[in-house]
């Protein structure tokens, strides 16, 4: 036969055909939008290293959540920046802390129209910028876990729909599940930052959350980038301890880990497309090197295609808006 029987290009002829056989779709239901809320007089302060992203006061955050809802966003991930920090990160578990007040405000205004997930960590609240209590120059795991559990409970008491421990301390999922269950909050799900790597891609986030470590780094508790089998062990432990959703962070540089987790574990998988990934696309677009919409869609689709059921992304508002306009 002069010509091949199989011609895959037949199904790529136009957008209608391509859409008919498209294997991977991005749904607004799967997207989570991070929001930075800070104790401050200004309603909004742009983050220089993350074009289009800002810190918001509690009042300003209400306007941002409303804008996100109008775009089609259905879930937010809340990060708090307190006015004062101390060695013990006491603002993290203060019932009147910035996250606790912000959550009460958001739930009071929007109720069940928005799913509120709270990041549970200490780095934004400690004067040293590490994710737990420091003893002899080292983050004390077990003492930190106690405070992280208190923090998670305080978020739930304020109205959080889900908590997301991001600290990478050993045993913290068990401690959080235990304290929530003892308080009767056994219906509150936990999304665990299970495979959180010590990545170079967090710099812009640390500007936004004002959480850079004041000495050393976080490689003694966040995962070593070359390790894949260890990620599966971390995920397995978090599931055993009570995690309902597990997360891989960063997403784009660790798509192999997302895929391995999807194939191995029968729980929802979240991928966090982190600040560095966001900033790289934004800066390349500003230089005229990339088409914004195509870059955002392609990068986000790759995370979904790798197996992520949930995608945490700073592009969530635009993605949801494009979905409403039927231009995804």
pLDDT number for residue 79: 98
State the CATH architecture for 27-324.
Answer: Alpha-Beta Barrel (3.20)
SS3 of residue 129 by DSSP: coil
- Is the CA virtual torsion 119, 120, 125, 130 positive or negative? negative
What distance in Å separates the CA atoms of residue 56 and residue 125, rounded to the nearest whole number? 17
pLDDT number for residue 4: 79
From the CB of residue 29, how many other CB atoms can be counted at a distance below 10 Å?
A: 12
Query: Of the candidates 249, 253, 218, which has an alpha carbon nearest to the alpha carbon of residue 231?
Result: 249
User: HSE of 262 in the Cβ direction (CA atoms, 13 Å)?
Assistant: 17
Integer angstrom CA distances of residue 135 from 18, 140, 215: 58, 6, 13
pLDDT number for residue 215: 86
Query: Of the candidates 285, 303, 304, which has an alpha carbon nearest to the alpha carbon of residue 293?
Result: 285
The radius of gyration computed from the CA coordinates of the chain, to the nearest angstrom, equals 20
Adjacent-strand bridge partners of 190: 163
What distance in Å separates the CA atoms of residue 96 and residue 98, rounded to the nearest whole number? 7
> DSSP readout, 225-280?
TT-SHHHHHHHHHHHHHT-SEEEEESSGGGHHHHHHHHHH--S-EEEEE-HHHHHH
Catalytic residues: 196, 249
Integer angstrom CA distances of residue 161 from 78, 106, 185, 290: 11, 11, 10, 37
pLDDT number for residue 204: 94
What distance in Å separates the CA atoms of residue 227 and residue 260, rounded to the nearest whole number? 12
Q: What is the pLDDT along the chain (328 residues), one digit of tens a residue?
A: 567 788 899 999 999 999 999 999 999 999 999 999 999 999 999 999 999 999 999 999 999 999 999 999 999 999 999 999 999 999 999 999 999 999 999 999 999 999 999 999 999 999 998 999 999 999 999 999 999 999 999 999 999 999 999 999 999 999 999 999 999 999 999 999 999 999 999 999 999 999 999 888 899 999 999 999 999 999 999 999 999 999 999 999 999 999 999 999 999 999 999 999 999 999 999 999 999 999 999 999 999 999 999 999 999 999 999 999 888 8
pLDDT number for residue 1: 57
* Helices 229-241 + 255-264 axis angle, to 10: 50
DSSP state of 224: P
Query: Based on the number of CB atoms within 10 Å of its own CB, is 34 exposed (0-12), middle (13-18) or buried (19 or more)?
Result: buried
Terminus-to-terminus CA distance in the chain, angstroms? Answer: 40
What distance in Å separates the CA atoms of residue 46 and residue 71, rounded to the nearest whole number? 20
What distance in Å separates the CA atoms of residue 5 and residue 157, rounded to the nearest whole number? 63
What distance in Å separates the CA atoms of residue 223 and residue 215, rounded to the nearest whole number? 18
pLDDT number for residue 2: 66
Pairing of strands 162-165, 75-81: unpaired
Query: Based on the number of CB atoms within 10 Å of its own CB, is 271 exposed (0-12), middle (13-18) or buried (19 or more)?
Result: buried
């Amino acid at each position: 036969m002069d010509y091949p029987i199989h011609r895959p290009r037949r199904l790529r002829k136009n957008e209608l055909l391509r859409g008919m056989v498209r294997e991977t779709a991005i749904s607004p239901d799967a997207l989570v939008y991070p929001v930075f809320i800070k104790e401050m007089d200004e309603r909004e302060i742009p983050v220089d290293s993350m074009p289009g992203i800002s810190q918001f006061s509690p009042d300003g955050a209400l306007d941002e959540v409303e804008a996100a809802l109008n775009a089609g966003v259905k879930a937010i991930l809340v990060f708090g920046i307190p006015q004062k920090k101390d060695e013990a990160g006491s603002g993290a578990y203060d019932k009147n802390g910035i996250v606790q007040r912000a959550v009460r405000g958001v739930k009071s205004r929007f109720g069940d129209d928005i799913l509120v997930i709270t990041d549970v960590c200490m780095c934004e609240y400690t004067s040293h910028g590490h994710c737990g209590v420091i003893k002899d120059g080292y983050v004390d795991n077990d003492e930190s876990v106690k405070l992280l559990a208190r923090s998670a409970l305080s978020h739930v008491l304020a109205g959080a729909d889900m908590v997301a421990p991001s600290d990478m301390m050993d045993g913290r999922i068990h401690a959080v599940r235990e304290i929530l269950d003892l308080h009767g909050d056994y219906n509150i799900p936990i999304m665990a930052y299970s495979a959180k790597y010590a990545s170079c891609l967090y710099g812009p986030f640390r500007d936004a959350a004002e959480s850079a470590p004041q000495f050393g780094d976080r490689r003694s508790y966040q995962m070593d980038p070359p390790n894949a089998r260890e990620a599966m062990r971390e995920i397995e432990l978090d599931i055993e301890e009570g995690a309902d959703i597990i997360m891989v962070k960063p997403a784009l540089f660790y798509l192999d880990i997302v895929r391995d987790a999807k194939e191995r574990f029968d729980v929802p998988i979240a991928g966090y497309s982190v600040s560095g990934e966001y900033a790289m696309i934004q800066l390349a677009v500003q230089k005229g090197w990339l088409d914004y919409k195509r870059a955002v869609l392609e990068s986000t689709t790759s995370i979904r295609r790798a197996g992520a059921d949930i995608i945490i992304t700073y592009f969530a508002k635009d993605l949801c808006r494009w979905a409403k306009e039927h231009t995804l």
